Amino acid sequence: MNRDIQEQKNTLSFEDYKKQILEDYRLIVISRETSKLGRREVLSGKGTFGIFGDGKELPQIVLNRFFQAGDFRSGYYRDQTLMMAQGHLTPKQLFSAIYAHPDIKNEPMSAGRQMVGHFSNQLIDEDGNWLDQLQSKNHVADVSSTGAQMPRLIGLAQASKIYRNLDIKHSQKFSNQGNEIAWGTIGNASTSEGLFFEAINTAGVLQIPMVMSVWDDGYGISVENKQQTTKESISKALEGFGREEDIDGIEILTVKGWDYPALIKTYSYASKLAREKHIPILVHVTELTQPLGHSTSGSHERYKSKERLSWEKEYDCNHKMKEWIVSNGISDHDNLDEIESVIKREVREAKKEAWKEYQQPILEQRVRLNKFLEVLMPESNNDVELKILHKSLNDKTELFYHDVISTARKTFPLLVKNQVKNTDGFKNWLDEIKAKLQEKYSSHLYSEGVNATESVKLTPPQYQLDAPMVDGRIILRDNFDHLLENEDRLIIFGEDSGKIGGVNQGLEGLQNKYGKIRVADTGIREATIIGQGIGMAIRGLKPIAEIQYLDYVLYCIQILSDDLATLSYRTKGRQLAPLIIRTRGHRLEGIWHSGSPMSGLINLIRGIQLLVPRNMTQAAGFYNTLLRANQPAIVVESLNGYRIKEKLPSNLGEYCLPIGEIEVLKSGNDITLVSYGSTLRIVQQVAMKLEGYGIDAEVIDIQTLIPFDISKQLSNSIAKTNRLLIIDEDMPGGASAYILQQLLEEQNIYPLLDSQPKLLTAKEHRPPYAEDGDYFSKPSADDIFECVFEIMHESNPNKYPKL
């Protein structure tokens, strides 16, 4: 018996010690039984996919002993036992998740939006307020992509270090002097992902309180460790990261996943070291199994040998735990068997209840539909199609909402066809229920209510009479200075952001003034820069993460897309990461410095705002608004704007500009020219030149691509000019197509147009280097002029002859 177990025995009475062990056993059996029944539910057709925590129960029950309130987990779909041990998840809730119950009260992890096995706890209350994280054991909502939990783990752990080293005023709900551990979990095969290695390196550099467990069952679905990992062992492969006596690094530990005393010893040591010393730790938990196979998609007998399968039976951690309990005289087989059979009954009951509660509201809607039909059917000449439709709905023993709604939607045209009168009540019910259900599936993509950018009180920039003209970067720098001064939760970091104050000097001198934690340099590792920001934002800090150039956003697009963009949506607004990302682009030169992959972003990051300020005054005003809201956003500054002179506002750090409003930069009556970012300057010049040719163009700055013109002002311009040209330096069919789609579908501009709307974009290839590369790739002043002329020619060929 090891010392930790011995210590427990010494501090507890033998009865209490036994009770605790048996409670652990009860939990691992509950978890296993839920996995088994869950799998059966899916295979019987009541769910579409199932993935469970079987074979990983024991290490989680031990890890839980050292997981304190305030701590965070960033893990994956195998962690069901830990969630159950912490009271976040009951078997009934897990079954509700299998059925995708869309009510958050029944399915608290994601309100039915995520597949079963994607866990979270609520960090934001119903009204959008942050809950006290120190009162709960916290879990950032899991994502399905393997390894994607790693970047944010860094930020979660780093937040403890920041809270320990800075005296932050509003930290009461978030940290107790940085004593919180960020617990990571990952499968052995997922450690092959680049994100894992990037995060491990970052943790070693930053020295943060992270305890990273690798649940190693030897496989990644069917692929063995031999094909996954150098030396077939992640702890061996990582040896070079290992901590040495006088050299910082990562403490690497290994332990067998079925060995209860050894697990206690390992996690006791790991948690103490991480919590007290802020040292990152990797626990490689080996010899785990997967008794039910990877998921419901197939059976593991297809790819595991007979020998392996029989080894898995023998070394199943639950089985080993039972053996250990009996051999140490804590209980006997009869007693443990009795515990197991009681649990079997309880889990079965939980399953039944979950199904009943899932079906109840759907059945109620079927009853409503049937009531309408009792009246309407006879009036429809007893239409045969209608009868068949409803018989098949009423014959169903298991119902989805879409069964009822789809039947109702098919009913309505049949009622119209048969000239049934008095269908208003039916139609109202159908519209109402459809809207209600749509909300269940579509809400909270963006922050709502108090957290939305629309809730921020707006203040315009003010200017003194003698306001000087300064380089744009000075406005940004001095604005950040004010923000850092007045918002102690603000942390800014990125490649070269610290010592030299950013490649464009927008942070010049601010590290000296505010210290190396608040204005920090990072390594070249875009994914974990974003991960730092996500983790910090979740833990109540106000991070601005800098991606040096827009083109390099591709290195972190996966984490932006899968994690940040979906966090609010996948938790129905119960978790938020209000991370602000600062980057720069537009009008750059060179294949890897084009600065324009806007449509890629627009498509992949819905859930994150995308702001494209034309100058630094606008950019600063957006930062000020974002810092007062809780909405993730990317701000793309104009790279060629840092040295352009702008008037210096007197209320830096205070003025807040609206997000989602267009701005008319020049009014005109003949044609509406729409653009954003650096291209606008060229458009403005062309608009002046067009005056000389008798063309009065209206120039409009979109300002923000997401959200797009919330109050639908653009159509007013088109109603006046009846002509539209969208100028964009993105690819053909890129952001310009998105703008046109918004105008056609959201603002119905089609009837307002007298000429075909035109889109002037860059060429399909990336722009070659230098001035000529730009001229022949992106829309130039000449291109814009000629394009406008062509549109005007169509309306009045005499006045505007062909060029």
Ligand X SMILES: Cc1ncc(C[n+]2csc(CCOP(=O)(O)OP(=O)(O)O)c2C)c(N)n1
Beta carbon nearer to ligand X, 77 or 708? 77
> C-beta of 792: minimal distance to ligand X in Å?
51
Beta carbon nearer to ligand X, 146 or 721? 146
Stretch that binds ligand X, among 139-147, 425-433, 434-442, 764-772 (CB under 6 A): 139-147
Which string of x and - marks every residue 165-204 that binds ligand X (by CB under 6 A)?
Answer: ----------------------xxxx--------------
> C-beta of 603: minimal distance to ligand X in Å?
19
Which string of x and - marks every residue 732-751 that binds ligand X (by CB under 6 A)?
Answer: --------------------
> C-beta of 153: minimal distance to ligand X in Å?
15
Residue list 643-702, contact with ligand X (CB under 6 A) = none
> C-beta of 76: minimal distance to ligand X in Å?
7
Beta carbon nearer to ligand X, 263 or 354? 263
CA distance 283 to 10: 27
Beta carbon nearer to ligand X, 150 or 598? 150
CA distance 786 to 788: 5
Of the candidates 72, 166, 149, which has an alpha carbon nearest to the alpha carbon of residue 517? 166
Stretch that binds ligand X, among 138-146, 240-248, 347-355, 789-797 (CB under 6 A): 138-146
Q: What is the CA radius of gyration of the chain?
A: 30
Identify the three-state secondary structure at position 435. helix
Stretch that binds ligand X, among 66-74, 219-227, 265-273, 564-572 (CB under 6 A): 219-227
Which string of x and - marks every residue 773-802 that binds ligand X (by CB under 6 A)?
Answer: ------------------------------
> C-beta of 755: minimal distance to ligand X in Å?
47
Cβ neighbours for 419, distance < 8 A, ≥ 6 positions apart: none
Task: Tell me the number of residues near ligand X by CB under 6 A.
Answer: 14
Catalytic residue, from 170, 593, 765, 793: name it: 593
CA distance 687 to 719: 19
Beta carbon nearer to ligand X, 294 or 304? 294
The DSSP-derived string for 319-362 is HHHHHHHHHTTS--HHHHHHHHHHHHHHHHHHHHHHHHHHHHHH
Beta carbon nearer to ligand X, 35 or 179? 35
Cβ neighbours for 167, distance < 8 A, ≥ 6 positions apart: 488
> C-beta of 509: minimal distance to ligand X in Å?
42
Cβ neighbours for 154, distance < 8 A, ≥ 6 positions apart: 199, 202, 203, 206, 208, 210, 528, 531, 532, 535
Burial class (CB in 10 A: 0-12, 13-18, 19+), 200: buried
146 lies in the site for ligand X, by CB under 6 A: yes
CA distance 417 to 380: 9
Other CB atoms closer than 10 Å to residue 63's CB: what's the count? Answer: 26
Residue 650 corresponds to which amino acid?
S
Position of minimal CB gap to ligand X? 187
Stretch that binds ligand X, among 142-150, 260-268, 307-315, 474-482 (CB under 6 A): 142-150
142 lies in the site for ligand X, by CB under 6 A: no
- Tokens describing residue 54: 């079987």
35 lies in the site for ligand X, by CB under 6 A: no
Of the candidates 700, 704, 750, which has an alpha carbon nearest to the alpha carbon of residue 725? 700
> C-beta of 179: minimal distance to ligand X in Å?
30
> C-beta of 30: minimal distance to ligand X in Å?
20
Stretch that binds ligand X, among 215-223, 255-263, 377-385, 737-745 (CB under 6 A): 215-223
801: left (phi over 0), alpha (psi -120 to 50) or beta: beta
> C-beta of 50: minimal distance to ligand X in Å?
13
568 lies in the site for ligand X, by CB under 6 A: no
Burial class (CB in 10 A: 0-12, 13-18, 19+), 452: middle
- Tokens describing residue 682: 């060229």
Which string of x and - marks every residue 69-88 that binds ligand X (by CB under 6 A)?
Answer: ---------x----------
294 lies in the site for ligand X, by CB under 6 A: yes
Beta carbon nearer to ligand X, 187 or 779? 187
**Of positions 20, 68, 145, 455, contacts ligand X by CB under 6 A:** 145
Residue with tokens 């976040």: 88
Stretch that binds ligand X, among 22-30, 218-226, 369-377, 743-751 (CB under 6 A): 218-226
The DSSP-derived string for 70-110 is T-EEE--TTTHHHHHHTTS--HHHHHHHHHT---TTT-TTT
Contact 55, 290 (CB under 8 A): yes
Beta carbon nearer to ligand X, 219 or 493? 219
Which string of x and - marks every residue 404-433 that binds ligand X (by CB under 6 A)?
Answer: ------------------------------
> C-beta of 228: minimal distance to ligand X in Å?
8
C-alpha angle 522/276/250, rounded to 5°? 50
Beta carbon nearer to ligand X, 216 or 728? 216
506 lies in the site for ligand X, by CB under 6 A: no
Of the candidates 219, 226, 142, 134, which has an alpha carbon nearest to the alpha carbon of residue 180? 134
> C-beta of 144: minimal distance to ligand X in Å?
5
DSSP state of 135: G
To which H or E segment does residue 308 belong? helix 306-315
CA distance 719 to 98: 51
- Tokens describing residue 475: 């406005």
Residue list 221-280, contact with ligand X (CB under 6 A) = 221
**Of positions 220, 585, 707, 757, contacts ligand X by CB under 6 A:** 220
Chain-centroid distance, C-alpha 344: 36
Beta carbon nearer to ligand X, 92 or 113? 113
**Of positions 95, 183, 215, 480, contacts ligand X by CB under 6 A:** 215
210 lies in the site for ligand X, by CB under 6 A: no
- Tokens describing residue 494: 């990125």
Contact 84, 67 (CB under 8 A): no
Q: Tell me if residue 593 is catalytic.
A: yes
Contact 67, 127 (CB under 8 A): no
> C-beta of 55: minimal distance to ligand X in Å?
8
Beta carbon nearer to ligand X, 217 or 729? 217
Q: Are strands 223-224 and 219-220 parallel, antiparallel or unpaired?
A: antiparallel
> C-beta of 608: minimal distance to ligand X in Å?
20
Beta-bridge mates of residue 701: 663, 675
Stretch that binds ligand X, among 34-42, 141-149, 353-361, 566-574 (CB under 6 A): 141-149
Q: Are strands 580-585 and 633-638 parallel, antiparallel or unpaired?
A: parallel
217 lies in the site for ligand X, by CB under 6 A: yes
Beta carbon nearer to ligand X, 221 or 262? 221
The DSSP-derived string for 615-649 is SHHHHHHHHHHHHHS---EEEEEEGGGTTSEEEPP
**Of positions 48, 129, 144, 486, contacts ligand X by CB under 6 A:** 144
Stretch that binds ligand X, among 120-128, 213-221, 311-319, 462-470 (CB under 6 A): 213-221
- Strand spans (E) along 143-235: 182-187, 210-215, 219-220, 223-224
Beta carbon nearer to ligand X, 263 or 762? 263
Q: Which residues are catalytic?
A: 593
Which residues make up the interface to ligand X (CB under 6 A)?
A: 78, 144-146, 187-190, 215, 217, 219-221, 294
